[in-house]
Amino acid sequence: MKYLFLLLSIILSSLSSSAATPNQVQIAVKLEPRTKQFWCRYTLTLPADAAETSVQLNLNKAFTITGLESHGAVRKQIAPRFYATAGDTVQAIELTYRPGKQRRRVVLTYQGTMPPKFATPEVMELSGHSNWLPSRPLREYELIDYVLQVQAPETYRIISSRPPIRHSQGRSTFRGLTSAIEPTVVAAEHVYEATTGAPTPIKVSKAAAPLLHPDSLMLSEAERVVAFYNRSIGQQDPIPRFAILLTGADRDAFALLDNAAVITYPDFDVRKRIDQLVLAHEISHKWWAYGSFNDYNDWLNEAFATYSSLLYLRATADTAGYRQELAKRVASAAGAPAIIGFDKTAHSYPTYRRVVYDKGTVILAALHDRLGDASFLAILATTAARKTSSTSEFLLIVEQAAGLETRQWLEKLLST
């Protein structure tokens, strides 16, 4: 059941690569973990070259808007609207401006109470899965250059996907470049941490409960996964550091674009193969995050992440495990619809899994068989480094590396 939520991982890790100049976002948030409340001031600045005459933002309907300001706006409107992508009603905010090449700055203030899935008396989690930030419709994954200032009672530690740039008692400031819904805050009275050193620092931060033996095993496993990926699929664009946040909320696991993952299962144990594969899958989303979540190009995210995790399994000398896991996908993919043109809105979730995860994985294994290790891994490394977002781009990479005949063979597999 919990692995259903892997689907959601891409909501966090997927990202539009279209924006030339990232929008600037300043987030100032105050937390009161004991009552699960927060107050947020969100400032979005769109560059003048965007010349927007209308700026739209969607905000979680559960929150209360207390202010909306934008210099030069001739019309401001807030109305409930059904947002099909989320399958839910949102507060649709729309600001209208006179035409002109001017920077647009919107300041939205709101407050809310986090539901129990994301807040206990011990831990408060504001993450991409808690839907705590506003975002532009259908641009949840656009790149933002953000500054995140967090205030919490002094007895609470505040952690994020990266270390703070400033910290004083009760206040921490983080800065980064990531997708619009991804800035993450975890606040807890006690945070327990373990790190590895060179060549790639990896940190596990666990909220509320001390690190146990399985957490140490996970840290060592993450170190091996990152080392394997950095010399294979990530050789052109290696992971420089990695953070794993453990919140204990028993909900899901998902990757963050900012070299991080959130794992909430309290019983996560990499000695179980399924958890070992989840860890390797999520870490690989650092590269496999650029296909559209809304169409069949999602196989560039999920099949590539799944096959990467199987490659890791094979690299641990567990070739029997690799074969078993691949055989499961082969069985699941038998008779599944074609990947190219697959419309996820017209099929059930299990069929989506069979096509986008399993059939895609089987096709990558077939390409691997056809080309051998060196050529196949070079193709994956190039695909990763180019932040490949469409199947046609991937086919071109295959054609350039392995020839037209292999491209046509692959295109046929993807089309039938």
Applying CB under 5 A, the span of 87-95, 123-131, 187-195, 304-312 interacting with Zn ion comes to 304-312
Cβ of residue 133: shortest distance to Zn ion, in angstroms?
21
| Shortest distance in whole angstroms from residue 311 CB to Zn ion | 15
Minimum separation from the CB atom of position 365 to Zn ion (A): 17
Q: Which residue stretch of 196-204, 290-298, 299-307, 407-415 sits at the interface with Zn ion (rule: CB under 5 A)? A: 299-307
Site for Zn ion in 3-32 (CB under 5 A): 6, 9
State the nearest-atom distance from the C-beta of 127 to Zn ion, in Å.
Answer: 16
Span of 53-61, 134-142, 155-163, 298-306 interacting with Zn ion by CB under 5 A: 298-306
Please identify, using beta-carbon distances, which residue of 277 and 305 lies nearer to Zn ion. Answer: 305
Look up residue 192 and give its amino acid.
Answer: Y
* CA atoms of 10 and 14, how far apart (whole Å): 5
Distance CA 239, CA 224 (A): 12
- Of 191 and 364, which has the nearer Cβ to Zn ion? 364
> Could you tell me which stretch among 63-71, 302-310, 335-343, 378-386 binds Zn ion (CB under 5 A)?
302-310
CB closer to Zn ion out of 6 and 257: 6
| CB closer to Zn ion out of 91 and 309 | 309
Cβ closest to Zn ion, residue 142 vs residue 302: 302
- Return the beta strands (E) in 47-190 as ranges: 54-60, 64-69, 73-83, 88-97, 104-113, 123-126, 143-151, 157-159, 166-168, 171-179, 185-188
- Residue 249 near Zn ion by CB under 5 A: no
Q: What are phi and psi of 365, to 5 degrees?
A: -65, -40
User: Tokens 């799944």 label which residue?
Assistant: 306
CB of 252 to Zn ion, least distance (A): 11
118, 125 in Cβ contact below 8 A? yes
Least Cβ distance, residue 29 to Zn ion (angstroms): 28
> Which region among 161-169, 211-219, 303-311, 379-387 touches Zn ion (by CB under 5 A)?
303-311
> x/- contact string, 271-290, with Zn ion (CB under 5 A)?
--------------------
Distances (CA, A) of 96 to 205, 215, 338: 43, 50, 43
Rounded to 10°, the helix 404-415/391-402 angle is: 150
CA distance 297 to 233: 19
Could you tell me if 258 and 174 are in contact, meaning their C-beta atoms sit under 8 angstroms apart?
A: no
What is the CA 117 to chain-centroid distance, rounded? 19
Choose, by CB under 5 A, the member of 15, 245, 305, 355 that binds Zn ion: 305
Q: Which stretch binds Zn ion (CB under 5 A): 1-9, 60-68, 235-243, 382-390?
A: 1-9
Write b or e for each residue in 378-416: b if 16 or more Cβ atoms lie within 10 A of its Cβ, otherwise e: bbbbbbbebebbebebbbebbbebbeeebbebbbebbee
Residue with Cβ nearer Zn ion (7 or 180)? 7
Q: Which is nearer to Zn ion, 73 or 258 (CB)?
A: 258
Q: Which residue has 């819904």 as its token pair?
A: 181
Report how far residue 291's alpha carbon sits from residue 302's, in angstroms, rounded to the nearest whole number: 9
Cα–Cα distance for residue pair 340/342, rounded to 1 Å:
6
CB of 211: closest distance to Zn ion in angstroms? Answer: 25
Report if residue 259 touches Zn ion, rule: CB under 5 A: no
How many residues at the interface with Zn ion, by CB under 5 A? 4
Q: Helix axis angle, 360-371 relative to 299-315, nearest 10°? A: 60
Among the listed ranges 96-104, 132-140, 188-196, 296-304, the one in contact with Zn ion (CB under 5 A) is 296-304
Stretch that binds Zn ion, among 53-61, 138-146, 168-176, 301-309 (CB under 5 A): 301-309
What is the rounded CA–CA span in Å between residue 214 and residue 91? 42
Residue indicated by tokens 């950095």: 230
Q: Which one, of 149, 158, 116, 127, lies nearest residue 262 by Cα?
A: 127
Q: Is 356 in the site for Zn ion (CB under 5 A)?
A: no
Which residues sit at the interface with Zn ion, rule CB under 5 A?
A: 6, 9, 302, 305
